[in-house]
Structure 1
């Protein structure tokens, strides 16, 4: 196993996010930690509602008014984004950290041409003239595979297909060569062929620009194909993390194993598909002890009494009292 050295481009340490509800404040993201490294793709993986997208919104400072960061640090280089002021965040939005949203039609402004929107980062951050910024917009459109960019630069978002709009979003995100690119379900609602093209584009841009990419998804096949490292989330917490090849070959948390066992590949016709019984806990019912206890086949009294500490072994991390029964050997981090 290769042990990575050097500081990650993005270092998330103990990030917690609270949401204010009529029934009281709930902890939606609880102590999430991971590091995204330049030239590599790290996947945040888990079921819908596990806190993946909320984590991404917290990283880029786009939380809804009812949500707020309750603790932790998010270091982008030497800057902690949690404590940084608005002006610092604005300066780093683009050259430091950028995001690609899953719904391109709502992420793009329908009343401005795509050329105007693509040119905006160059005018704001680099002080380019309107003409120079427009030329950069055309160049970006060509780079992400938009046909005839010189003539389509004055078109509006609704005049592009879903796949082309997603390419435009990616172009906007990478315009200023960000150190870290967050991709939140970037292939949602696209057909399989277009999905493959979008992911190929992200791979090429990651290599060209040596970006760290954080891929947010619930698609295990996509993670296996595209990511180098994976962070498995459940009920707002990290339950397992490590290199994708190792985690998928030898999962050490019952939730990770349940996800992988649920993949129908190789299941004989007529055989009942494996699944994880039950549902994730509601936010106001997340237990203070093990968050997975109600669905776990290994659950015991200790699981209901205390939350498992994170244990580490090289690049692998797991939060389970009985991970050794799944082959894990590691010490408390």
Structure 2
């Protein structure tokens, strides 16, 4: 595939150190797909608030990613950006804010993520009004769904379409819903909508059982991996650290160690973008070879680690894979 200007720039200028690792990882990602492999992308941090959807949505549409693992925050924050983008506030001088100025942002209804302030009323509450109806409808029908399935129902209902404040092609969750892309959301309870759901349960308006659990997500992932890891296998592209990556990568040793399935292939590609440095006990900063000892990666698995800012690196790798 002919490469566009972004890819040409990367190949010409990115020759050493982390820049070279970026190019190597991008080329290996592309080669993995060309050989018939599939790819999981894991999203930690605040990638949705960073508007990674501008490139990730196109990756989804072009079948360059086949399953996503993300935090509950990334699941909801892409939709928040979709419907409340014009109300967000950017604070370029965030490093200079005093505790009093942080408090004033809270009083104004803003929740800050680095240089970006999410408007609570316009973002969270705009979604809450609609998702509450979907949750209660499921309870009335005796139905149970995963967190991402409820969000898919919300998006595909188009009930919020009039509220869109960005080009919908830049929403990765909308692209995923339209593809019915498999998503795993470990620890969903650790999110704003997870907290809101818990509040309804505490008030007795909802039953926790309508929301499928993390254990069920692991069962769901094991089944998906079982049916998609033949041939070239499944690659693992990890953005950041934390539970978004830690949870899904464990499905391989779980299947062959705990279930005793001896024909389970290792992840067949691994790349992590992280600014977490290697230190005692730091899993996010561990070099990929450590994962061999845990039965997650093989000796010959292509392994890459790019020690840099994912908001810079991920769009460049996606641009390469997309031929931009």
Tell me if both proteins adopt one fold, taking TM over 0.5 as the criterion.
Answer: no
Given the two structures, how large is their TM-score scaled by the length of structure 1? 0.28
Larger relative contact order (C-alpha < 8 A, sep ≥ 6)? 2
Bigger strand share: 1
